[in-house]
Amino acid sequence: MLNAVKRGALAAAATLTLASVAGAQGRPLEMGLDAGVVFGLGDQSSVDITLPASRARVGFFLANTQWSIEPALGLSYTKVEDTDGIFTYDVELGALYHLRPFIVATADENEVIARVNAPYVRPFVGFTGFTGGDTDDNEFSVGAGLGIKIPWRRQIAWRLEANAGYGFSNDAFRLGALAGFSFFTR
């Protein structure tokens, strides 16, 4: 379990480093939390519902703000009486392409004038690991999502997404949904 904690801490440190580099370049950051539901369809079907937040994410807008790179991290620990606890870590990297620019215009390079509803496409790769209990398993997955960002307040937006993915270790096709909110630094 100690190695898994170290990996999770390393992923969090890398995300914070990327955030500080992007912030220094004057581009907005999108920080958010998502609740999630995933239906696994395969040899062993499954349902995973995580509320209020299954993962934390940080989006880094590129020079062309229709694109952003977004690492996400989810950590959980489950302990049932008379069994060993299981630590789960989920690291994901996505690339969002906004079908319509989310940031419409700026008065200068530092001030956002308006944000509009922005549908997006998000291909992603993920790595999930489990330690403890009867398992010490890892899984690599790929997928894509289709979602929308809906402005709510000046620096806050709702975010809704439906996605599909495939986990290679257990040959499972997954259907998922995320609902969350984003905070923008500018």
* Domain extent for 150: 2-184
The token pair that represents 85 in the structure block: 């606890």
How much is the average pLDDT of 142-157? 91
CATH of the domain at 13: 2.40.160.20
Helices assigned H by DSSP within the chain: 2-24
Q: What is the CA radius of gyration of the chain?
A: 17
- Whole-number average pLDDT of the chain: 81
| Joined tokens for residue 108 | 């200068």
Which range among 20-29, 76-85, 119-128 shows the weakest confidence by mean pLDDT?
20-29
For the cut 80, the answer to whether the pLDDT of residue 30 exceeds it is: yes
Query: What pLDDT does residue 19 have?
Result: 47
* Domain total in the chain: 1
> Residue 63: is its pLDDT beyond 80?
yes
